[in-house]
Amino acid sequence: MTQFDAVLIGAGHNTLAAALHLAAKGWRVGVFEQAADPGGAVKTGEYTLPGFRHDWAAMNLSLFAGSPFFKVYGGELTRHGCAFVPVSRPFSSSFSDGSWLGVSTEGDETATQIATVSAADAAAWRSLMAGFGAEAPHLFGLLGSPMKFRALAYFMFKTLRAKGLAGTLDFTRFLLSSPRQWLEESFADPRTRAMLGAWGMHLDFAPDVAGGAMFPYLEGMAGQAFGMVIGAGGADTVIKALVAAIRARGGVVECNAPVTRVLRDGGRASGVELADGRVMHAAKAVIAGVAPRALPRLTGATTPEFDSAMTRYAHAPGTMMIHLAMDGMPDWRAGAALQRFAYVHLGDSLDQMAEVYAQAKEGLLPAQPLLVVGQPTVVDPSRAPEGKHVLWVQVRMAPGTIAGDAAGQIAATDWQAAAEPFAERALDILESHAPGTRGKILARRIVTPAELEAENPNLVGGDQVCGSHHLAQHFLFRPARGHADGSTPVPGLHLTGAAVWPGAGTGAGPGYLLARKLAGN
């Protein structure tokens, strides 16, 4: 039996962040991961050809670089090799009519481009940007606050004092609004709405889902105010640095080490048993970085209420990834300016996004899925051989289990057979926006929702955000009422990861908040 203060299950960035903080506070930590490599959804590899480095799932590291965790440990991680590449033009949208819009940190570039489709929307954008400095502390304060009644009461007190009653009510209404409600109130042109509304689809907020307005707002405003960062050489720069930092502090990070069960002593979590029979003892805490549905399989029965909440935890529709090794950049029909952006969204309207979401929720392969085309080699040429490029294509949404095809063209209902024709549908869309792209593809790797889950069981059905963020499963209810702090009915056992408040993204919030609670600071 090996002795630790804390044993952590899974080596995603949240468990690694928790392990590093606990190690810094003097805890002996052991992290055990079932996969061959650490990182969870934050991985990079040569998935197509040698020399072409592709981010497996997550590419945008802005939340990590701007996180409270990185403010404390950034210097240490940098010494262990963590490096970012700044992006001044974070995202854009290409539309079927040949127009485009994009968000840039470069002066008045964003509003000037918006003015090409709507002068009124350009004025609205400038007004929102002017007020962002006053609004940001409230939104970031909420997203960084522990989901405890006392913390929420203090947050509301500060908001009331700053905004007054009327302003606080307006702020609350905004938090409850759907993306469509806010976008239609704020902008006149459907293309401006679509450019921002695409961000809701990243977090399971289709245009008409309540509570999703803040995400298009934050991505738009923060995109112009701060830009974006991606990992130098790949997103795995943060994972490599986290692992190195933990080991340098005496911690253990072991891969190919599946955990089969959580052990208890007198009702308290006392350690874990690995698939090879080894036992890892935890004197203070066992931290499970797993999807909620997996927890009962590790623990056995706890309380009926908690076990039921974990079992019925709702996941978002899935995503299919297409990694492309390219002989050159896409020649965007809307203009060469799109080659300067890290992301290009291909989605014409909020109505299209709502239809895509509804089809995926019904188990149908969407007829016209939203594409997120990542162009990381625009700012980080080290990811490909000289003169070559990689494209990172997310196909949103895609059902984890296929019931049929919304277009009536693909007969297959298993991902092994449906992957190629569905990928061709996505590439047809890309080709319509950037003619000649197919001719520049040197190699490709399709990653289906089924493969995403097989490689990382937390991505249930290919759900890259580890659970819906709808209001019934967010804030105080993520992953369940009374457990937004990662607590469980088993003393000494804690849950972390994107399924726990503050949820998905690369900000390490769930892991860092939990570790601070356990360490007392």
Give 96-137 pLDDT, tens digit per residue: 999 999 999 998 999 999 999 999 999 999 999 999 998 888
pLDDT for residue 346 is more than 80: yes
Band of pLDDT at residue 143, cut at 50, 70 and 90: confident
The 3-class secondary structure across 122-136, one letter per residue, is: HHHHHHHHHHHHHHH
- What distance, in Å, lies between the first and last C-alpha atoms of the chain? 29
Band of pLDDT at residue 157, cut at 50, 70 and 90: confident
pTM: 0.96
**Nearest of 7, 90, 12 to residue 508 by alpha carbon:** 12
Please name the residues in contact with 479: beta carbons below 8 A apart, sequence gap of 6 or more.
Answer: 292, 309, 310, 313, 467, 473, 495, 499, 500
Rounded Cα gap, residues 37 and 34, in angstroms: 8
pLDDT for residue 26 is more than 80: yes
Q: Measuring CA to CA, how many Å separate 349 from each of 97, 110, 131, 353, 494? A: 12, 19, 26, 7, 41
Going by their DSSP bridges, the two strands 343-346 and 318-326 should be labelled as: unpaired
Rounded Cα gap, residues 264 and 267, in angstroms: 6
Q: What is the reported pLDDT for 149? A: 67
pLDDT for residue 264 is more than 70: yes
Single-letter residue type at 340: R
Going by their DSSP bridges, the two strands 29-32 and 252-254 should be labelled as: parallel
Strand segments, DSSP code E, in 181-294 are 228-231, 252-254, 259-265, 268-274, 279-288
Rounded Cα gap, residues 163 and 171, in angstroms: 9
Q: What is the reported pLDDT for 280? A: 98
**Domain edges within the chain:** 2-46+58-83+234-313+466-519, 124-226
Token duo for residue 58: 């997550």
| Residue 171 near residue 137, CB atoms below 8 Å | no
Q: What is the reported pLDDT for 163? A: 85
Rounded Cα gap, residues 465 and 409, in angstroms: 29
Give phi and psi for 318, each to the nearest 5: -85, -175
Strand segments, DSSP code E, in 19-63 are 29-32, 44-45, 54-55
pLDDT for residue 378 is more than 80: yes
Rounded Cα gap, residues 83 and 65, in angstroms: 10
Rounded Cα gap, residues 153 and 16, in angstroms: 30
Please name the residues in contact with 336: beta carbons below 8 A apart, sequence gap of 6 or more.
Answer: none
**Nearest of 40, 141, 253 to residue 509 by alpha carbon:** 141
Give 182-222 pLDDT, tens digit per residue: 999 999 999 999 999 999 999 899 999 999 999 999 999 99
pLDDT for residue 355 is more than 80: yes
The residue whose two tokens read 């000649």 is 436
Name which of 129-133, 158-162, 269-273, 461-465 the model is least confident about: 158-162
**DSSP label at 456?**
-
Q: What is the reported pLDDT for 146? A: 80
| Residue 247 near residue 508, CB atoms below 8 Å | no
Token duo for residue 452: 């995403």
| Cα 277-279-285 angle, rounded to 5 deg | 145
**DSSP label at 381?**
G
Give phi and psi for 477, each to the nearest 5: -110, 20
Three-class DSSP category at 159: helix
Rounded Cα gap, residues 249 and 22, in angstroms: 10
Q: Is the domain defined by 2-46+58-83+234-313+466-519 classed in CATH 3.30.70.120? A: no
Rounded Cα gap, residues 213 and 202, in angstroms: 13
Q: Measuring CA to CA, how many Å separate 415 from each of 246, 320, 395, 418, 444? A: 38, 10, 14, 5, 17
| Residue 102 near residue 337, CB atoms below 8 Å | yes
Q: What is the reported pLDDT for 103? A: 98
Token duo for residue 231: 């990992």
Three-class DSSP category at 328: coil
Token duo for residue 24: 């810094």
Token duo for residue 287: 């931290």
Average pLDDT, integer, range 501-507: 94
Give 300-327 pLDDT, tens digit per residue: 999 999 999 999 999 999 999 999 999 9
